[in-house]
Amino acid sequence: MQQNIIRENPATKKDLDIVQKSIKDLEERLDNLNKKVSTQLATKADLKRESKAQWQGQLRLEEKIENLEESNNKRFDEIQEHQRKDKDGIMNKLDYLIGKYEAAEQDSIIGTHQIRELRERLDEHDKILKSIQQH
């Protein structure tokens, strides 16, 4: 689910590109250091400088990853809120329709009962009329 969110959110895609570029830069630095070490001995200052650069690069990378996580969590929360509102709307419409159905069903039951009573009264009146006509 969150992978789809990353693909749909252009800002997140941009951040991923920046993170990938940072990783590539760090890899290039490491390659340069490896070349330097293989061609000549590195001094203690060289190692400290490169270690500091790598440490700073790693901190920036971790910060970017945290920002991505926060952005994704915010987007996920927004999607959940939107889904909750949609669900509430659907449930309200269903409640309304069920209420209308139940009212129509009650009307049908009452109508059927009234028709039965009217038929019984009609049959009684019919009997009375027949008995009056016979006399």
Q: What is the pLDDT of residues 38-60, one digit of tens each?
A: 666 667 887 788 888 889 989 99
CB 40 within 8 A of CB 85: no
Domain count, the chain: 1
Q: What is the pLDDT of residues 8-24, one digit of tens each?
A: 555 677 777 888 888 88
Quick one: pLDDT band at residue 2, thresholds 50, 70, 90? very low
pLDDT computed for residue 120 by the predictor = 95
Whole-number Cα distances in Å, 76 to 2, 17, 70, 88:
7, 21, 10, 18
CB 77 within 8 A of CB 7: no
Which amino acid is located at 105 in the chain? Answer: E
pTM above 0.85, yes or no: no
Residues of the domain holding 55: 2-134
What value, to the nearest 5°, has the Cα angle with vertex 24 and ends 19 and 27?
130
